[in-house]
Amino acid sequence: MSWAGPEDIFLSTSLASYLDKKLLVLLRDGRKLLGILRSFDQFANAVLEGACERVIVGDLYCDIPLGLYVIRGENVVLIGELDLEREELPPHMIGVSASEIKRAQKAERDATDLKGSMRKRMEFLDLD
């Protein structure tokens, strides 16, 4: 195993190769942002131009336009380069309007809440 030489001080996983490319940014809260990277820094703070949020609920998706975004690096999970020769999404997925996706999100949230409340009601059984 070799130790750090003088040239390694400059070794860094730079986002420079991603500049001016359309990227997918995954955030810690589960959101998926798409946009063109215009700027970044050592904390992985990023500026995305023409950003949109891709909301996916089951087989439905919707791109909600956001404009120019500055993302604080601590929220970044992953920055992915989109391969233009491949489909961004599987073909079976259906694009819907913003209002429809919001309804689908609410339905999903309600189903999760219902599951949670039913589980809570069963807790007294102490099955585990």
**Which positions lie near other proteins, rule CB under 8 A?**
1-4, 8, 11-13, 15, 18, 24, 26, 28, 30, 32, 44, 54, 56, 61, 73-74, 76-83, 86-90, 93
**Pairing assessment for the beta strands 46-57 and 32-40 based on DSSP bridges:** antiparallel
Comparison of 15 and 49: residue with beta carbon closer to other proteins: 15
Comparison of 48 and 61: residue with beta carbon closer to other proteins: 61
Query: Cβ 108 to other proteins, closest distance in Å?
Result: 15
Comparison of 1 and 127: residue with beta carbon closer to other proteins: 1
What is the rounded distance in angstroms from the CA atom of residue 40 to the CA atom of residue 42? 7
Query: Cβ 102 to other proteins, closest distance in Å?
Result: 18
Q: Which amino acid is at 62?
A: C
CA nearest to 68, candidates 94, 89, 49:
49
Comparison of 47 and 56: residue with beta carbon closer to other proteins: 56
Query: Cβ 120 to other proteins, closest distance in Å?
Result: 24
DSSP β-bridge partners for residue 60: 57, 94
Phi/psi region, residue 30 (left: phi>0; alpha: psi -120 to 50; beta: rest), is left
